[in-house]
Amino acid sequence: MADGQKSAGGSGSGSEGLIRTRTARTVREQAIKGLLVAAAVLSVLTTTGIVVTLITESSSFFEDIPFKDFFFGTDWEPLAGGEQQSFGVVPLVWSTLYLTFVALVVAIPVGLGVGVYLAEYASPRVRKIFKPIIELLAGIPTIVFGYFALVFFTPLLQNELGLDLRVFNGLSGGIILGILVLPTIASVSEDALSAVPQALREGAFGLGAAKWQVVVRVVFPAALSGVVAALVLGASRAIGETVVILVASGNTPNLTFDLTVAHQNMAAFIANAARSDAAAGSTAYATIFAVGATLFVMTFLLNIVAIRFVRKHRQVYD
């Protein structure tokens, strides 16, 4: 009977031996729980670490450079010398958003197309083959895409299509970034569409709708929040992508619509600046943190939006 005590359980008839066993066990249970809590709290510590680092180093940056100059200035030369050095982040933010835009122009139609096809049109056998292939594409390391952009895609655009591109250009980087983000959009939207109950489709068919009408007018709107979540996740991934842009699109952001010149996004800037490793404490080094903070806030906000949509989506069918 000594075995049968739950740690949170009631008090037994109080013999000395029983109470001692329960106490020892309770202590151990609490200790284990403490360890588990610590592990979970580590996640909070990570966020705290990120926020603290970004804030403290950025604040030293903003002591030297006024907010207005940073957020509204259009001359971005943080690593230049002397008089030339300038910290207007607008071109960098512009290039980031522009590259993301190019990527999404590729990724959204194609990604949704793949998602819709796999969810609604593909036979189970086709689906069984291609869904894993899409997941495979999602697992390819980003450096491979960077390689592909610089070594294959840019020369292809320059030579076969005759485009007057610089060797480091925004078009190649942007398109390949889209290919990188595509599997995320395809996969998540496919999940969202598949989750729509069959009853909705059957009802529409029963009313005489053609297949494409069922998909576009019934299934798609029903899965809309999930699909939007997919798009936002894709956008978030594109905004924060480093290596593809670092390898293929050059070291300079450009405040222009011209995709034949170099473009750099915030993540690539951070990686590039850190490789140069300016001395800790210099303004150029602190730029890494200021830009990092900006990037973090942007993806954070996007992610909150995505989570909201996903939650709304989940509620519909629970």
Residues 13-42 that bind other proteins (CB under 8 A): 25, 28-29, 32-33, 35-42
Stretch 102-141: interaction string toward other proteins, x if CB under 8 A: -------xxxxxx-xx-xxx--x--x--x--xx-xx-xxx
Helix (H) or strand (E) holding 133: helix 124-139
Q: How far apart are CA 132 and CA 127, in angstroms?
A: 8
With helix as H, strand as E and coil as C, how does 143-191 read?
HHHHHHHHHHHHHHHHHHCCCCCCCCCHHHHHHHHHHHHHHHHHHHHHH
Applying CB under 8 A, among 241, 253, 287, 309 the residue interacting with other proteins is 241
Q: How far is CA 160 from CA 153, 172, 247, 308, in A?
A: 10, 14, 21, 45
Applying CB under 8 A, among 19, 50, 55, 105 the residue interacting with other proteins is 50
Nearer to other proteins, 49 or 66 (CB): 49
By CB under 8 A, tell whether 233 contacts other proteins.
yes
- List phi, psi (to 5°) of 240: -95, 5
Closest distance of CB 202 from other proteins, Å:
7
Applying CB under 8 A, among 7, 23, 59, 74 the residue interacting with other proteins is 7
By CB under 8 A, tell whether 150 contacts other proteins.
yes
By CB under 8 A, tell whether 8 contacts other proteins.
yes
Helix (H) or strand (E) holding 230: helix 224-239
What residues between 58 and 87 interact with other proteins by CB under 8 A?
Answer: 77, 79-84
Instruction: Yes or no: say if 201 and 193 are a contact pair by the CB < 8 Å rule.
Output: no
By CB under 8 A, tell whether 199 contacts other proteins.
no
Partners of 76 in the beta sheet?
87
Kindly determine how many residues on this chain lie close enough to bind other proteins according to the rule CB under 8 A.
123
Stretch that binds other proteins, among 66-74, 95-103, 221-229, 284-292 (CB under 8 A): 284-292
Instruction: Yes or no: say if 73 and 86 are a contact pair by the CB < 8 Å rule.
Output: yes
Stretch that binds other proteins, among 65-73, 95-103, 198-206, 221-229 (CB under 8 A): 198-206
Closest distance of CB 67 from other proteins, Å:
21
